[in-house]
Amino acid sequence: MQKNNINIKNRKAKFQYDVLDKYTAGIKLAGTEIKAIREGKANIAESFCEFHRGELYVINMHVEEYSHATHFNHNPKSERKLLLNKQELRKLEKEIKQSGLTIIPLRLFVNDRGLAKLVIALCKGKKTHDKRETIKDRDNKRRLDRIKKEYN
């Protein structure tokens, strides 16, 4: 198989949410969608997941139209079905209904078999003061790294 190193991340997710649990899900895609993803033409920054009739869909995931396609190209903002087993789907749906959590995509990648996979996370939204703590921790870590680098 060809060497794929497509790794599209949602950088805002870990800042805006506390990650509780992670899952790796397959995505049901059209032919031109997977070709565009293999070119790295996708964005998951503003996307989230919702349940419709017991099935999980990723919403607002932007996959650009494939450049070499004809008029049979895909819709860039369409809902895409996520492929998980039934136990995982039931568990996620139960968690969302009971505790008001959300499911956020963290990373989109192409595995060694050439299939697109989406790492999704069960998340709880952070409050403003939690975000400030995250910024302080990041700055302190950066300062410590600089000091360590000076002494080495």
pTM given for the model: 0.77
| Separation CA 88–CA 124 (nearest Å) | 18
* 8 Å CB contact between 132 and 140: no
In order along its 152 residues, the chain shows pLDDT tens digits of: 455 677 888 888 888 888 899 999 999 987 788 888 888 888 888 898 999 888 999 998 888 877 666 666 666 677 889 999 999 999 998 888 888 789 999 999 988 888 889 999 999 888 888 888 888 999 999 999 999 888 87
List the beta bridge partners of residue 88: none
Closest CA to 96 of 148, 35, 49, 143: 49
Looking at the structure, give the CATH architecture of the domain made up of residues 7-126: Beta Barrel (2.40)
